[in-house]
Amino acid sequence: MPARYIVATIAIATLPRVAWAHTGRAPEPHDLWSAWTLAPGVIVSLAIGAWLYARGVRALWSAAGRGRGVARWRAACFAGGMLTVALALLSPIDAVGSALFSVHMTQHMLLVVVAAPLIMLGDPPTAMLWAFSVGARRRIGLAWREWRVGRAIWHQLRRPLVAWTLHVGALWLWHLPTLYGAALRDERIHVLEHATFFLTALLFWSVLTERRPRHRLNVGAGTLYLFTAALQCTLLGALMSFARHAWYFGHYGTTAAWGLTPLEDQQIAGLIMWIPAGTAYLVALIPTVLPALRAPAQWVASPTAAGVSARGTP
Does position 244 have pLDDT exceeding 80, yes or no? yes
Residue 294, domain member (yes or no): no
Structural domain boundaries, residue 245? 4-283
Total of domains in the chain: 1
Residue 68, pLDDT score: 84
187 falls within a domain: yes
**Segment 147-161 mean pLDDT:** 90
- What was the pLDDT predicted at 102? 94
**295 within domain boundaries:** no
65 lies in a domain? yes
**Inside any domain, residue 292:** no
Reported as a single tens digit per residue, the pLDDT across 105-143 is 999 999 999 999 999 999 999 899 999 988 888 898 889
pLDDT reading at 263 higher than 70: yes
CA distance 140 to 129: 9
Residue 198 CA to residue 242 CA, distance in Å, equals 27
The rounded mean pLDDT for the chain is: 83
Q: What is the pLDDT of residues 170-209, one digit of tens each?
A: 999 999 999 999 988 888 898 899 999 999 999 999 998 8
- The pTM of this model reads 0.81
Distance CA(14)–CA(29), nearest Å, equals 31
CA–CA separation, 78 vs 68, rounded Å? 16
